[in-house]
Structure 1
Amino acid sequence: MRDDRPAAPSGILLVDKPGGMTSHDVVARARKALGTRKIGHAGTLDPMATGLLVLGVGPATRLLTYLVGLDKTYLATIRLGAATDTDDAEGEVTATAGEGLVAAVTDAAIAAGIAQLTGDISQVPSTVSAIKVDGRRAYDRARAGEEVVLKARAVTVSRFDVLAARRTEHLIELDVVVDCTSGTYIRALARDLGAALGVGGHLSALRRTRIGDFDVAEAVPADAMDAGGLLDAAVVAARVMTRLDVDEDQARDLRHGKRLLGAGTLAGRGHLAAVDPAGRLVGILERRGADLKSAMNMPPEESE
């Protein structure tokens, strides 16, 4: 008997998250708009933050593993002169700079402080981050009044540039652009810059504009999500890794768990996106010696 039901949606959706919504709120709205519960995201944004959120829909959620670790770009505003318990403007002020200290901070001192936070650095994430500590989110423990001590982690900040600066008697606001590796906390950069300058600092605005090769200019508003905005899984995979076109026999072998013998020399290093003659993503391949094998397979269309 013919099944005339529409195919379940599948693909990657780029969303421009507004302020005041959690990433989970966006996912919940997408589930309603697209009529499916199978939706995940590649990296959260704080409720205060706006900008690019990458959603995986249907079988394409399997691709999110390969998108989470991509480099990112942020536009941010850092407020120097006060520290907060969350390292951003949503927290309670815990300290303010004494009289005259902010005025004594020179542009050269700011530049030197930023230089120390650029390149390969060791960063302690914010206490209210989503990092899990013994199975619970750090922010849940912090809000419950528990003492949270997070370990420093290695991150890379490849660009940390000041776009504009505004001064008052008690505060300095810096509009900055940051290019960084996944796992970098911009709140922590604001906190650490303020601490280095001896005046305290926190984040007052944040917008994510890029994840890997994906720009917020491509994103749809959170109130305009629909299946028409979905990017095909094969197209997305080919934007983040090398595309390898396979024939029908090779596609079938890969889907059945077989290796492509001797095919490991077909392209450069890293994962490969295997695409069949119909333009469908078969899966993500990795090298095993001289061979290629599937690290992740997409389900065939008839089972989606």
Structure 2
Amino acid sequence: MAARNDVTIQQLRYFVAAARFGSMTKAADDLLVAQSAVSSSIAVLEKQLASQLFIRRRSKGLTLTADGARFLRNAQALLSQLDESIEEARGDAKQYSGVVRLACFVTLTPFVVPRLLERLEVAHPELEVHVSEVDTQGARELLQAGAVDLAVGYDFGFGEDVEARVIGHAEPYVLLSSGHPLAHLGEIALADLAGENFVLLDIPQSRDYFLGLLADANLTPRIRHRSRNYETIRALVARGHGFSILNQRASSNATYDGGEIVTLPITGQQDALTIVVARMKGAHLSSRMRAVADALHEGP
């Protein structure tokens, strides 16, 4: 049996790709090698480590074991440091290349990701960002599994093993249809909407936040419709199905279907949502990851 120190960089890259795609075949396609090369390499790696890294199921593909998840984090950190060292040796320390994997809260994605990619295209044209759209729980799970390097989202609590850097704040506001009797107001108190139908953005954590704002105003909402889709909420409000509360503002008040909404600030002190970029505590922060985090810090 080969000694542990005979593990190769190629084996690590094959293992990380298989973990990322959850499939030997998809990993091989991405790496432009034969599927047998990936599967045999990982099988040898498991023997070298005397540990099973994947549970293999024909119908569900590959699932990391607990040992596999821990090894994945270490392998990714090692490969990241290696790639960074090579870039520095080549004199490319200010022009990063490679991939940064980013989890983004689903309603933030259209406001954050396009501008982020635009900035990076100018500063680091060889740097790729692979984006996964998730809720807070999904972002936390991807970070803990080592499936993403960074996460950007609202600070609903990522856990004690995650560290977060504040990059912005988002104030809540009320959405009304343009024909609503109160649409002409410059600002609105939530109490003014007592008894009206409510259209709820029904995403975990966000849902509790919006209902909490109404509870603080002593309102029990009459929920008429729920949706996980930001634009669906806007369209339902525009067509007079109720009012809603959101945090991110689109540049236009027109909806996809030609409706029109009005956005009004809420009177009084309201709890804004804090936007953060997060990563696992103790994880290596590569130069390319730092470049992405800094670009995010420039604001949505």
Same fold (TM over 0.5): no
Higher strand fraction (1 or 2): 1
Q: TM-score, normalised by structure 2?
A: 0.25
Higher helix fraction (1 or 2): 2
